[in-house]
Structure 1
Amino acid sequence: MSIETDIKQATPFRTPYHRLMVNLMYTSNWIAASQTKLLKPSGLTLQQYNVLRILRGQYPNPVKVSDITERMLDKMSNASRLIDKLVAKKLVLRTECPSDRRAVDVVITDKGLELLQKLDVHQTEWNDEQRNKLTEDEATYLSQLLDRLRA
């Protein structure tokens, strides 16, 4: 389905770049909604899921909150608040950094790792659905184009 059909736009876009911008924003929101639906039964938000994935990537090493903030997909997220919520759910541990008492180290717990493992199954299913729409080469090429757009 075209972006024009999806947003019920009858008039043409001013330029192909305007169409691209609208299409990227619409598609980004569509993907976010799809991911939110997958995460809802686990009680996680997209931002909390992002933090857990960052921590899993560094496991078993702790990560400073400032480093998590730098790596977040959503740069407007409040990492400290997200970590507080994940601590309350017992998905991460927060400790004072031994080398810098002003810094805070965060590490994912076994419970957090187990939750991500369960979510990986759903992510694999989502990826399989996308394989029916794009080949791996097309997905790689699209990703490269998006990288160029941000360069």
Structure 2
Amino acid sequence: MSFALAQELGKKNPFDLPEEEALLNIVRTSAALSIAFEREFRQYDLTDASYNVLRILRGSGPSGKLCSQVGRELVAQGPDVTRLIDRLERKGLCERRRSTTDRRAIWVVITPSGLDLVNRLDEPVKALLKKALGHMSRKELELVSELLVKVRTPVCEQALAAAEASSSESPKVQPKANQ
């Protein structure tokens, strides 16, 4: 591999492992791309995560989505989906609706204001994407996507297996000691 990242980071020697260099390249590139998008979203009092929620809700149509579905569909999944939706709801960009058939189920629906905002962001986001990645050919972009899926798949499969294993384990009940 090249020494470009090592030089950017001020390393005097090459990385010991190509895996380390690849991972740090992914992280560094993600951070660099995020800055430009965060700057754009900040103008609209949004974060990249709240923009992602609005896009998910726009795609779900007038019926909306269950809160849990929104959480699963986020690009960068995190535990604070409820707070994200709270903030968007306070701004009037989405609203919650309790299911009429299952009181535990809460649906989230984009409001007309939320739809207007996410629609207004379409062109600025496309322009940012072109600015950030427009220098690459379609074939290169497809290759980058394929390689990132190849990186992500085993990591996601391991995380899913670990989550399933921890949820299937029942707490061990200690027998009562004779007194």
TM-score surpassing 0.5? yes
Which residue matches 1:95? 97
Q: Residue 94 of structure 1: SS of its match in structure 2?
A: strand
Scaled by the length of structure 2, what TM-score is found? 0.79
Which residue matches 1:11? 13
Which residue matches 1:119? 121
| Cα distance in structure 1, aligned partners of 2:33 and 2:109 | 28
Q: Which amino acid aligns with 1:14?
A: D
Equivalent residue in structure 2 for 1:42, among 28, 41, 44: 44
Change (3 A) 1:76 1:132: closer
Please state if 1:148 is matched with 2:178.
Answer: no
| Cα distance in structure 1, aligned partners of 2:146 and 2:21 | 19
Q: CA RMSD, aligned part only?
A: 1.5
| Contact 1:35 1:46 survives alignment (8 Å) | yes
Larger Rg: 2
Aligned length: 151
Percent identity reads 30
Q: Residue 69 of structure 2: SS of its match in structure 1?
A: helix
Ranges in structure 1 where 5+ consecutive residues have no aligned partner: none
Scaled by the length of structure 1, what TM-score is found? 0.93
Ranges in structure 2 where 5+ consecutive residues have no aligned partner: 154-179
Which residue matches 2:87? 85
Which residue matches 2:68? 66
Deviation at 1:6, TM superposition (A): 2.3
Deviation at 1:109, TM superposition (A): 1.0
